[in-house]
A and B are shown apart, each in its own frame.
Chain A
């Protein structure tokens, strides 16, 4: 099976500061990969480069075999994303936002798809409500609805459940897991909630100082490195990355 996302030797530097330093990984079509790391590790920079909004200093990104640097539009046609820092415009209604992005992503049978996704994300009461007056959790659901609107083959989720209550977060996690397991697409997921990551991700990549430090099954990785759980391992990566590098 060909990966939906291939990242090879990806690098981004700003002058002498290296934000991402030769990162390589792949995401398979029905796989959820967690991109983990402390603040400033290079997660969002990596995602920005995958989305084509930041030019890499080196390396390449391929989505379904298409080089993002050369065929950005084609590569992003089957991609979508949701991030806490990229809410949809608050001065348009839920329906209007989904209509605009549905047109941009050329979603077929758009009207029916919008109604489906509004139901799926429990947004029916907010159909004609401006997004700016929704609670942060409701806005996050709209962002996720926008991200799933085109049934992307590659879905990038940057802390997708950060502002959701535990009950809604669990429902959203289940939906996203079902989406991946149905073979509709691969998912790259960042989160600081290690319990969530352990529950959702098939594989995790620990990023520290712009490099992938560890990689593996989130259920096996902590024991392999002598840690109680993923959270403890995360703390070790954040505070003592060198000791893990030597193991």
Chain B
């Protein structure tokens, strides 16, 4: 892999972000709405009765972590969509760039833009609600690592879906975080779910993060084994996502879809 080509893919996204403020604002608008909504919900619950639980840590903090994951995934997908929308496939895929370089460039874009969004979220939650992510102590690092890696995996899967099914399939990609959120227990424990949902939840790395959040708020710790399972699952999903993308790409090369992408299908 050549860093200069990865940088080229990243730089293209920076040019696009700089060139149109709409792209820039969409990085922050929904997370701002979420922070305000869940911040006020947390504030309300804290004030109801004699609540002893830190609702800011359980609700606002969890939503903040969830939005970080969602942004990570969607940043990668959006970076890819830019090439779909600009009909730039032929220029990119007929160049010497390797698929691994192209994907790494998309991931680098996702990492940088989601970290910027995360800093803004932290600032907003701190200024408006006095919430600090450090309430979770050092556990916040493994939390972020797991969500970050799983966000990359789902971002690559989203890209694969659109490459395989054509541009209209982007509408399958946007709701992916919403679809998996009931299974990973962002704001409730997995134990309240039916068994089959719990089973699915245990296969999804974010479940370990949000169970960890609640354990810490309840005075416990985030166990090393939970981190290890979440990390291993995330890495496994990244490898799986990469192989899915490779398979989809190879099929697109075989069928001629890359060269005729605007047709959406070659069948």
Report if A105 contacts B (CB, 8 A). Answer: yes
Report the minimum CB–CB distance from B256 to chain A (whole Å).
5
Task: Give complex CA distance A201, B82 in Å.
Answer: 37
**Closest B residue, CB atoms, query A44:** B259
Can you pick out 11 interface pairs between chain A and chain B where the beta carbons lie within 8 Å of each other? A14-B255, A51-B94, A72-B96, A73-B98, A75-B96, A86-B94, A88-B88, A89-B82, A91-B16, A96-B12, A106-B5
Task: Give complex CA distance A101, B95 in Å.
Answer: 8
Task: Give complex CA distance A103, B238 in Å.
Answer: 27
Task: Give complex CA distance A115, B86 in Å.
Answer: 24
Task: Give complex CA distance A130, B19 in Å.
Answer: 10
Query: Interface size for chain A: under 10, 10 to 19, 20 to 34, or 35 or more residues?
Result: 35 or more
Report if A235 contacts B (CB, 8 A). Answer: no
Task: Give complex CA distance A81, B258 in Å.
Answer: 16
Interface-forming stretch among A52-60, A162-170, A221-229?
A52-60
Task: Give complex CA distance A44, B90 in Å.
Answer: 12
Report if B128 contacts A (CB, 8 A). Answer: no
Which residue in A53, A88, A90 is a CB contact (below 8 Å) of B259?
Answer: A53
Inter-chain contacts of A130 with B (CB < 8 A): 19
Inter-chain contacts of A92 with B (CB < 8 A): 12, 15-16, 19
Inter-chain contacts of A90 with B (CB < 8 A): 86
Decide if B16 touches A76 in the complex (CB within 8 Å): no
Report the minimum CB–CB distance from B21 to chain A (whole Å).
13
Report if B97 contacts A (CB, 8 A). Answer: yes
Decide if A103 touches B7 in the complex (CB within 8 Å): yes
Given contacts A73-B98, A90-B86, A91-B16, whether A53 and B91 have CB atoms under 8 Å apart is: no
Which residue in B4, B98, B253 is a CB contact (below 8 Å) of A54?
Answer: B253
Q: Mark B224-267, 1 if CB is under 8 A from A, else 0.
A: 00000000000000000000000000100111101100000010
